[in-house]
Amino acid sequence: MAAALAGRWQLVARDTDTDVESAAGKSIADIFVEDGEPYFRELERAAVARALVEHDGVLALGGGAVLDEETQADLVDYAGRGGVIVFLDVTLAAAGPRVGFNQARPLLLGNPRAQWQALMEARRPIYERLALVCVLTDGHRPLDVAELIELELAAARRVPAGTEEGA
């Protein structure tokens, strides 16, 4: 999704999950299994903090990144400096086929649908508090979601400079 939006805005996309995997030299699933969730969250926290300072483009965060209070504070600061935070929402019905509820997602082991629902119930209030706009992605292709994001940001009058609406 970040790549689709970045492409529309002629910006660079970056994903902090990819940053974590590069730093660790292994997949997120392997980090969880071999090193544990607390170690993963440390790497994630550092990756998000670094990206918010270094990156000037579209940044994708892992879904659990916002659980860290320091990350929340960094995101509030980022928004205060003019950064735009978008919550890409998805229902359980649409999430199932998209994520596959497979074993590569360590937090969805056991009963993946119940786990996903519990994760979203815990995270949704944080996402909604931090985000300038929320976009429901159900049934939409990435390019369609990018267009919906643009429409929501235009409605909130926060389209990035250099785009047609923000030029």
Q: Give domain limits for the chain.
A: 2-13+57-155
Q: How far is CA 146 from CA 9, 21, 137, 152, in A?
A: 10, 26, 10, 10
Q: Which pLDDT value is given to residue 158?
A: 59
Q: Does 89 appear as a known binding residue? A: no
CA–CA separation, 138 and 140 (whole Å): 6
pTM over 0.85: no
Q: Which pLDDT value is given to residue 167?
A: 44
Q: Does 68 appear as a known binding residue? A: no
CA–CA separation, 57 and 40 (whole Å): 24
Q: What are phi and psi of 81, to 5 degrees?
A: -90, 10
Q: Does 105 appear as a known binding residue? A: yes
Fold of the 2-13+57-155 domain: Rossmann fold (3.40.50)
In tens digits, what is the pLDDT along the chain, a chain of 167 residues? Answer: 899 999 999 999 999 999 999 999 999 999 999 999 999 999 999 999 999 999 999 999 998 999 999 999 999 999 999 999 999 998 776 665 555 544 555 555 556 777 768 888 889 999 999 999 999 999 899 899 999 999 999 888 755 555 554 44
Q: 139, 135, 137, 138: which is closest to 155 by C-alpha?
A: 135
Q: 50, 67, 41: which is closest to 15 by C-alpha?
A: 50
Residues 6+ apart with CB under 8 A from 163: 8, 9, 150
**Please, are residues 40 and 20 in contact by the beta-carbon 8 Å criterion?**
yes
Q: What do you get for the CA distance between the two ends of the chain, in Å?
A: 23
